[in-house]
Copies of this chain bind each other. A is one copy, B any other.
Amino acid sequence: MKFNNRNVYISEKAKIGKNVRIGDNTVIYDNVIIGDNSIICNDCVIGEPVNDYYFTSSYENPETVLKEGAFIRSHSIIYAGSVFGENFSTGHRVTIREHSKFGNNCRIGTVSDIQGYVEFGNNCWLHSNVHIGQQSKIGNFVFIYPYAVFTNDPTPPSDTCIGPTVGDFSQIAVGTVLLPAAEIGKHCLVGAQSLVGGKYDDYSLIIGNPAKKIKDVRELKSRNTDKSHYPWPYSFSRNMPWEHEGFENWKLKNGYEND
């Protein structure tokens, strides 16, 4: 239903891999490279030119790379000058600005807004309506839930820009604000609607406005069992690379011995 080649425009300077489907009304601008077996749905813009384009006659669009297996849902806008690892996927109406770097297997939910100049590791999942300010630096297997906001200006407005950092496996729940330069360790859980500044150790449960470390996440009991759900990779494996062998085996083979 979606791939009828109606009103599709692909730049002659774009490189499209094998077995790539491109939806109706989609535009692919100059110097976009799309890997094999990708799906770009309808009404998308890939390689959106950066600001200079409008004012510089010699403008050349920076290279945009979507590696193999990308799946971009409709109405998304991806700026030129970003690099996305394998199997990158988005919901609808996502906006991703220039100089963003994503590892493999990342997912970005509907209406999320990535401001550019950010760095994500592998297997990060951002749900709907997440806002990531510039200079944020996020590890691997970090999940961020709706309406979380990552900020970067400690004294607005100013010319200072210091984004938050988040360690591997940490979870940032809905409606949370990370203040500029916040440092969240590995395996942390930041509770819903928290206002978080400062630096937190690995395994912290961080909650409140203003947020504090309440306890170690390993002490949190599950509702249904007497065991802790955290560190979550031992309890949750759907679509994770340890789905079949378990986290314990996987981590030893993959450089996460200490997690």
Residue of B29, B71, B93, B220 near A93 (CB, 8 A) is B93
A 202-239 to B, binary, CB cutoff 8 A, 1 in contact else 0 = 00000011000000000010111000011010011010
Shortest Cβ distance from residue A125 to the other chain B in the assembled complex, whole angstroms: 8
Contacts of A156 in B (CB 8 A): 143, 145, 171, 173, 189, 232
Among A9, A53, A146, find the residue whose CB has the most chain B CB atoms closer than 10 A.
A146
Q: Which listed residue (B30, B149, B192) contacts A179, Cβ 8 A? A: B192
Count copies of this chain in the complex: 3
Q: A176 to chain B: closest CB distance in Å?
A: 9
Contact with B along A75-94 (1 / 0, CB 8 A): 10100000000000001110
Q: For A6, what are the chain B residues with a Cβ–Cβ distance below 8 Å? A: 7, 9
Do B193 and A158 have beta carbons less than 8 Å apart? no
CB <8 Å contact, B158 and A236:
yes
* Complex interface: chain B residues within 8 A of A171 (CB): 156-157
- Chain A residues engaging chain B, CB cutoff 8 angstroms: 1-2, 4, 6-7, 9, 11, 21, 24-25, 27, 29-30, 39, 42-43, 45, 48-49, 53-54, 61, 71, 74-75, 77, 91-93, 95, 110-111, 113, 115, 125, 128-129, 131, 143, 145-147, 149, 151, 154-160, 171, 173-175, 177, 179, 189, 192-193, 195, 208-209, 220, 222-224, 229-230, 232, 235-236, 238
